[in-house]
Amino acid sequence: MLNIGILGCGRIGQVHARSISQIDAARVTAVADAFVEPAEALAANTGAQVLSPEALIASADVDAVIIGTPTDTHFDLIHAAAQAGKAIFCEKPVDMSADRIRTCMAMVEAAGVPFMTAFNRRFDPNFAALHARIMQGDIGDVEIVTILSRDPAPPPLSYIKSSGGIFRDMMIHDLDMARFLLGAEPVSVYAVGAALVDPDIGVVGDVDTAAVTLSTACGKICQISNSRRATYGYDQRIEVHGSKGLLRAENMLENTVEIATHHGFQKAPAQHFFLERYAAAYRAELGHFVKSVAAGEPILPGIRDGLHAQVLADAAAQSLAENTVIKIA
């Protein structure tokens, strides 16, 4: 039985608590939050005790921590948890600064604690099945990865101001997916983008429509496009072209019903947003964490994956700002 302490009792902490309730080999023993109310609510639902973050990390009843607090608190919590020898499950991004992630990586490696960066999409059953088929050679060598990722609507401007921008808060998932599927590190990054959805997003220095091209040393290519708007639901599609064939994962629709009229054949919209679309992924990623910690096996995606994705997001932001191609060392 893995005893888990949840740091941060907001929406994502609650999602993880629900996932844990469906895993026989784990339970929530403690929760912590800067605010009393969400902490007590989550404690009531899980039977866990409410502690301060420090006490939670120090508790003998906690084997592993889930860090679901604001990004700027991750660094200190990782430091403390690593010092305390706890296994760490950390929401992305690990930190807004790649250099600080490097410091975290050193701390985690020095402490020898398991660490998982929560790139949940790797655990989506569709994308996981697609990846498995690549790994078993069904399409030969990967040549071109195409990722189409669009949110139904932009987040509040207040969020965008502090999120690090579209490359760091939204495309970072696609950048990790690109690395996951390419099977090789990108060495060049080129980004374009504009504020087409909401000019106010441009006013605060970000874009809402963006495209990035990655290429690897061996010539593999990835094209990603993002929009903060999609009228037809949460658009999450991936395709991978290889030497022997093509794999693609389509959207999940609200249901399988099709209506035919003189307008044509119409299916339902895509599932609305990430909580529906990635419900299974959230459960699976935590199952993977619990199983890997219990078995003492290495965990992917690890802190190094968190670092690489951040480096690519930084490069994309720089490429857009300077309108030039950025080389990755």
In angstroms, what is the minimal distance from the CB of 280 to its own copies? 10
Residues 6 and 32 sit within 8 Å (Cβ to Cβ):
yes
70 binds its own copies (CB under 8 A): no
Near its own copies by CB under 8 A: residue from 161, 232, 275, 297: 232
Residue 325 structure tokens: 């191609």
Which amino acid, one-letter code, is at 308? H
Answer whether 194's CB lies under 8 Å from 207's CB. yes
> Angle 33-36-42 (CA atoms, 0-180°, nearest 5)?
70
By CB under 8 A, name the one of 219, 295, 298, 329 that touches its own copies.
219
Binding of residue 149 to its own copies (CB under 8 A): no
Stretch that binds its own copies, among 52-60, 84-92, 153-161, 251-259 (CB under 8 A): 251-259
Give exposure, 76-97, as e/b (b: 16+ Cβ within 10 Å): ebbbbbbebebbbbbbbbbbbe
Least CB distance to its own copies at residue 126 (A): 5
Q: Tell me whether residue 200 or residue 254 sits nearer to its own copies (CB atom).
A: 254
* C-beta closer to its own copies: residue 74 or 220: 220
If binding is defined by CB under 8 A, does position 329 make contact with its own copies? no
Residue 170 binding its own copies, by CB under 8 A: no
Write out the binding residues for its own copies, residues 100-139 only, by CB under 8 A: 125-126, 129-130, 133, 138-139
Closest CA to 29 of 12, 9, 46, 52: 46
Minimum separation from the CB atom of position 158 to its own copies (A): 23
What's the rounded Cα separation, in Å, for the pair 85 and 28?
Answer: 18
- In this structure, the dihedral spanned by the alpha carbons of residues 275, 3, 70 and 179, taken in order and rounded to 10 degrees, is -60
230 contacts its own copies (rule: CB under 8 A)? yes
The interface mask with its own copies, positions 48-67, x = CB under 8 A, is --------------------
Distances (CA, A) of 72 to 67, 77, 162, 186, 306: 11, 10, 10, 27, 15
266-305 positions binding its own copies, by CB under 8 A: 266-270
Given the rule CB under 8 A, which of 47-55, 96-104, 115-123, 193-201 is the region that contacts its own copies?
Answer: 193-201
